[in-house]
């Protein structure tokens, strides 16, 4: 029992360290190193949140990734394009670059099956841009990670942003 508990604690610490390192890479603009943390078959989604009646909450309070309009519903190839666009220095929405901090918290292991795990957490991403433009993005995240020869990689990221109308002009951020 005790050994299991220690194992789990160490694993959670390992995953949290992964998330914090990820945050550092993104906040420091080391996007290519961040891309290396993603598997080639990555699925990266952020559905829209809808206001619906209590009875409909389960089925209809978010759009369905894979079928309906989302903020993001893409793979690693599109994320590569986002990074490449940032690197051109001509992507005006991020030129000059925003100042960003990713905070990751409430990390919990949901499922541990050998070299694959599901993790739940919360994110708070703060962005300050140009002079007085500030955005807060807060929400839940559910990630699937796989451990390979080079360590952990992210194979699935489901983001649930706590906004209905997006209160920001863009989502140039990598979450």
Partner 1 sequence: MDPNRLGELIDTEGGVISREVFVDEDLFRIELEQLFARAWLFVGHESQVPEPGDFVTSRLGTESVLLTRDSEGELHVLLNSCRHRGMKVCRYDEGNTLSFTCPYHGWSYSTDGALVSVAGELLGVPHFRPGYGGRLDRSAWGLVPVARLANHHGLVFATWDHDAAPFDEYVGDFHWWLDNLASSASGELGAITAVRGVQKWRIRANWKFVAENFLGDNYHGPPSHASVDAVGIGPGGTGAETRHGAAPGQRRSVASTSFVRLGHGATGSVRYFMGYPAFEEPELTEYFGRAFEARTARFEAEGRPVGAMGPATLFPSMSFHAGPFPRALLVAHPISPWETEVWRWYLVDADAPPEVANWLRRYYLRYSGPAGLVEQDDMENWDYATEASRGTIARRHPYNYQLGLGMTQPSTLRGAVESDYFMTEENARNFYRRWHEFVRGDAWSALMAET
Q: What is the DSSP letter of 64?
A: P
Choose between 42 and 107: whose C-beta lies nearer to partner 1: 42
Phi first, then psi, for residue 69 (nearest 5°) are -65, 135
Tell me how far apart the alpha carbons of residues 154 and 35 are, in angstroms, rounded to a whole number: 10
Q: Would you count residue 82 as binding partner 1 (CB under 8 A)?
A: yes
58 vs 130, which CB is nearer to partner 1?
130
Out of 20, 21, 91, 156, name the contact with partner 1 by CB under 8 A. Answer: 91
Contacts 24+ apart (CB under 8 A), 10-15: 11/109, 11/112, 11/117, 12/107, 12/108, 12/109, 14/152, 15/107, 15/109, 15/117, 15/119, 15/145, 15/152
Among 81, 101, 106, 128, binds partner 1 (CB under 8 A): 81
How far apart are CB 73 and partner 1 at their closest, in Å?
A: 6
Using CB under 8 A, which of 68, 115, 116, 162 touches partner 1?
A: 68
Footprint of partner 1 (CB under 8 A): 46-48, 50-53, 56, 60, 63-64, 66-74, 78, 81-82, 84-85, 88, 90-93, 130, 133, 164-172
């Amino acid at each position: 029992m005790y050994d299991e508990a220690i194992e789990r604690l160490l694993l959670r610490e390992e995953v949290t360290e992964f998330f914090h390192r990820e945050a550092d890479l993104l906040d420091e603009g080391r996007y290519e190193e961040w891309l290396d943390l993603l598997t080639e078959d990555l699925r990266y989604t952020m559905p829209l949140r809808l206001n619906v009646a209590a009875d409909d909450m389960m089925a209809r309070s978010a759009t369905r990734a894979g079928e309906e309009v989302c903020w993001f519903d893409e793979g690693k190839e599109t994320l590569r394009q986002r990074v490449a666009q940032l690197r051109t220095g001509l992507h005006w929405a991020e030129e000059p670059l925003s100042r960003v901090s990713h905070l990751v918290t409430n990390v919990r292991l949901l499922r541990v099956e050998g070299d694959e795990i599901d993790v739940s957490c919360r994110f708070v991403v703060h962005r300050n841009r140009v002079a007085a433009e500030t955005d807060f993005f807060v929400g839940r995240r559910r990630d699937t990670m796989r451990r390979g020869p080079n360590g952990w990689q992210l194979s699935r990221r489901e983001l649930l942003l706590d906004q209905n109308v997006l209160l920001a002009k863009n989502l140039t951020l990598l979450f």
